Amino acid sequence: MNICGMKEATLLRIALSFSLLGLVALFILTQSMELEETKIANFSGAEAGSIVKIKGVVSGFSDTGKTARIEIAQPQTTEVFLFKSSNLSLEKGEFVEITGEVSDYNGRKELVASQVDVLG
């Protein structure tokens, strides 16, 4: 092996080491980030495609099999839609935290849930 080959191998090891360190740092950073809660009153100002988290009381729930519609009150109300991958049963009065993506549908904002957690 000549000197050029040794320098290339050393540079490759250094580059791989820093890449690995960067990935580990990004993983740690994303684990410590928490999404801030959005109030329903401010929900209409959210950009389509943004991820939001809302908390509120279930004031309505309907299940159509593959989808569900959840009405959440904070005291303002909004509808949340969920494409279900598992069974979900909610009762009026339960306190929930919902994370999802804002979308525009027929000129109004709606939340398409990716996660629904019952808090009480």
- Which sequence spans correspond to the domains of the chain? 1-33, 40-118
Closest CA to 111 of 82, 80, 70, 67: 80
What value does the CA radius of gyration of the chain take, rounded to a whole number of Å?
22
67-97: pLDDT as tens digits = 899 999 988 888 899 988 778 888 899 999 9
The angle formed by the CA atoms of residues 44, 78 and 32, to the nearest 5 degrees, is 70
Query: In which band, very low, low, confident or very high, does the pLDDT at 112 lie, cut at 50, 70 and 90?
Result: very high
Residue range 26-45, pLDDT digits in tens: 888 776 667 778 888 777 77
What's the CATH architecture for 40-118? Answer: Beta Barrel (2.40)
Residues 6+ apart with CB under 8 A from 18: none
Q: Three-class SS of residue 93?
A: coil
Predicted confidence band at 59 (pLDDT cuts at 50, 70, 90)? very high
Residue 55: which pLDDT band, with cuts at 50, 70 and 90?
Answer: very high
Whole-angstrom distance, CA of residue 41 vs CA of residue 14 = 51
Q: What is the pLDDT of residue 47?
A: 85
Question: Quick one: pLDDT at residue 61?
Answer: 92
pTM: 0.67
Cα 63 from Cα 102, distance rounded (Å): 20
Say whether pLDDT at 16 is over 60. yes
